Structure 1
Amino acid sequence: MAGRSMVGLVWAGPALVAYAVFVVYPFTQTVRYSLYDWDGFGSARFVGIENYRRVLTDPQLAGSIGHAFVLIVFFTVIPVGVGLLCAAALSRVDRGPVGGLARAVLIVPQILPLVGAAIAWTWAYSSEGAINQLLRAVGLGGLARPWLADFDLALPAVGLIGTWVSLGFCTVLLLSGVGRIDKSLFEAARLDGAGHFRELTTVLIPGVRREITVCVTVTVIAALASFDIVYVSTGGGPGTETMVPGVEIYRLTFLSQQVGQASALGVALTVLVLAVVLPLQWLGRER
């Protein structure tokens, strides 16, 4: 038994060393920096938990965390909900040309780099972009606007980019879960007179519980730690209406040289992600 344990340790050793060097050590350093007022070059001044206090009290820093929670609606709630409906519909379609084309279209956002997706959507959202041209073509020109420069609509507009990116991932993963469900369960539900909604809530959703947990976990982390899409599309603007922790950490570190404050926000974001994800993992366990 001891020999098998040693063999396992030998095989896992390189991965553990890499994890310690590239994850554990940088995180401990980040925690250390978060206790100092430091610009990254000169001498550091110990300030204790002052940086963390500012994370909770500064309107801009706290607001960036609030924006990240708003993005959960677009990165998680909408893609998982719509993905369930798409998976249910696609499960009824034979794997012919139509089904294959639908799956290919849904998976395209997962192939594209997030930076490329953000650039494409920025063009579409511009004053003369595809969205405004479509609105004018159907007689709704009064609704046209520079979406990413609108103080009220910039955050939802950015969120919809995340919806587009996450939808394909959620649908494909949920569709694989639907394929594991015993077809006799659907037949029994129909024989009992269950409609589509009842079939969805009593057979399909319980059958893909593990896949839903994975979708929610991955997309919640993507929402809370979002950077690429927001930075490329708006840079946190207009004003600070789309500022999220990832962009704020970048701004504090490289533009304001407040490494200690950026480290505190990074640690707070890590704790926040764990506080959200761990309960989700517990709720998603099979019982």
Structure 2
Amino acid sequence: MTEDKTSIPDAHGQKRRLPPSRGSRKTRQAAWLFVAPAFLAYAAFVLVPLGMSIYYSLLRWDGIGKASFHGLRNYVTVLTDSDLLQIIGNAFQLVLYFTLIPVLLGLAVASAIRSHMDGRFGTLTRTVLFLPQVIPLVAAGIAWSWMFASTGLVNQTLKAIGLSSWARGWLGDFVWALPAVGIIGAWVLLGLCTMLLVTGITKIDPSLYEAARLDGARPWHEFRYITLPGLRQEIGVCITVTVIAALASFDIVYISTQGGPGITTTVPGLEIYRLAFAHRQVGLASALAIVLMVLVLITIAPVQWFTRDKK
């Protein structure tokens, strides 16, 4: 056993903690000096705006004139207004596309190219799938708007294979506009999820797969009992990033549909922008922003708990 040098026995035989040494105080002071710049930046760009948003959410203010205290009525409006509830629901529907499709396809691709990581096939696959990540979201939204247009590539392809009845103006359809936006988001996030999962799968010991094959395990068993547990943390990161992207989406929706038709593709991020800058309801916009932040935290917390390292 090592001797505890941070305490000494007193006259009654009980241990009494020693005051911190001069060296340890200097170490802590030096640590705070290193932490201070990052903390100041975090406070300036995160904590202060968050506090201001909470303050504004309690006001009735047009952003220019005199503000009046409004209490929690802005929050009541957010949680009872049917249009705002539908807008929040739209964001959660996008989670199905932004999260499920990239994560499931990423797992499939990572498993398929696991044995070809160092070959040209693996390199080419990773490059092609990661390309959407380096394309600006505005450019991606414009390109997909062209493809989803009435005379765009999607409808031309459907007509070419004999499915003319399926052709429609996807982004202007009340039923299909939101799924079309979801497909755009899934395409953008697929490369990121695939790269994270491919990187994670390289950390799994290859001998586990060899032992499983010697025991007669099939590919599905290898995937279920080796790949999935080994990628627990990477899957958690993918789900966290994609859920936040869905709930806080703005640019893709703004470029492709501007929230239409009606409010079928309007999401909280876009509605916050409209309320604050078009309708001059800064208090209501701030309340919606705070509610959105709480929903993101509530949604992400179980994912973080379930996918954390169990060791």
Q: TM-score, normalised by structure 1?
A: 0.98
Partner in structure 2 of residue 281 of structure 1: 304
What are the residue-to-residue correspondences of 1:181-196 with 2, within 5 Å?
181-196=204-219
Counterpart pick for 2:290 among 240, 250, 267: 267
Q: Distance in 2 between matches of 1:145 and 1:92?
A: 41
Using the TM superposition, name which of 120-129 and 87-96 deviates more: 87-96
Q: Distance in 2 between matches of 1:231 and 1:149?
A: 13
Q: Is 1:61–2:93 an aligned residue pair?
A: no
Q: Is 1:11–2:34 an aligned residue pair?
A: yes
Q: Distance in 2 between matches of 1:243 and 1:145?
A: 20
Counterpart pick for 2:167 among 144, 155, 163: 144
Percent identical among aligned pairs is 53
Q: Distance in 1 between matches of 2:27 and 2:169?
A: 63
Q: Distance in 2 between matches of 1:250 and 1:233?
A: 16
Q: Distance in 2 between matches of 1:279 and 1:110?
A: 27
Q: Give the drift of 1:94.
A: 4.7
Partner in structure 1 of residue 6 of structure 2: none
Q: Distance in 1 between matches of 2:149 and 2:51?
A: 42
Q: Distance in 1 between matches of 2:26 and 2:255?
A: 52
Q: Is 1:249–2:249 an aligned residue pair?
A: no
Aligned to 2:122, the other structure's residue is in SS state helix
CA gap of 1:249–1:3, structure 2 versus 1, over 3 A, is same
CA gap of 1:94–1:223, structure 2 versus 1, over 3 A, is closer
Structure 1 residues 165-205: Cα deviation after superposition (integer angstroms, max 9, x where no partner): 11111111001111000011111111222211111110000
Q: Distance in 2 between matches of 1:29 and 1:95?
A: 50
Q: Distance in 2 between matches of 1:94 and 1:136?
A: 38
Q: Is 1:174–2:197 an aligned residue pair?
A: yes
Q: Distance in 2 between matches of 1:2 and 1:65?
A: 50
Q: Give the drift of 1:114.
A: 1.0
Q: Distance in 2 between matches of 1:283 and 1:94?
A: 28
**Structure 1 residue ranges (4+ consecutive) displaced by more than 6 angstroms after TM superposition:** none
Q: Is 1:87–2:110 an aligned residue pair?
A: yes
Q: Distance in 2 between matches of 1:124 and 1:24?
A: 41
Q: Give the drift of 1:92.
A: 2.0
Partner in structure 1 of residue 225 of structure 2: 202
Partner in structure 2 of residue 108 of structure 1: 131
Q: Distance in 2 between matches of 1:35 and 1:268?
A: 13
Structure 1 residues 152-176: Cα deviation after superposition (integer angstroms, max 9, x where no partner): 0000000001110111111110011
Q: Distance in 1 between matches of 2:36 and 2:122?
A: 44
Q: Distance in 1 between matches of 2:26 and 2:148?
A: 61
Structure 1 residues 78-136: Cα deviation after superposition (integer angstroms, max 9, x where no partner): 11111101000011225232222111110001101111111110111001111111111
Q: Distance in 2 between matches of 1:28 and 1:94?
A: 47
Q: Distance in 2 between matches of 1:283 and 1:142?
A: 44
Q: TM-score, normalised by structure 2?
A: 0.90
Q: Distance in 2 between matches of 1:236 and 1:147?
A: 13
Counterpart pick for 1:2 among 5, 18, 25: 25
Q: Distance in 2 between matches of 1:8 and 1:129?
A: 58
Q: Give the drift of 1:151.
A: 0.2
Structure 1 residues 232-272: Cα deviation after superposition (integer angstroms, max 9, x where no partner): 11111100001110001011011111100000000011111
Q: Is 1:227–2:235 an aligned residue pair?
A: no
- Is there any run of 5+ residues in structure 1 with no aligned partner, and where? none
Partner in structure 2 of residue 76 of structure 1: 99
Q: Is 1:156–2:189 an aligned residue pair?
A: no
Q: Distance in 1 between matches of 2:25 and 2:181?
A: 53
Structure label with greater radius of gyration: 2
Counterpart pick for 1:36 among 52, 59, 66: 59
- Is there any run of 5+ residues in structure 2 with no aligned partner, and where? 1-23
Partner in structure 1 of residue 154 of structure 2: 131
Using the TM superposition, name which of 46-55 and 89-98 deviates more: 89-98
Q: Distance in 1 between matches of 2:162 and 2:272?
A: 42
Q: Give the drift of 1:55.
A: 0.7
> What amino acid sits opposite 1:109 in the alignment?
P
CA RMSD, 1 decimal: 1.0
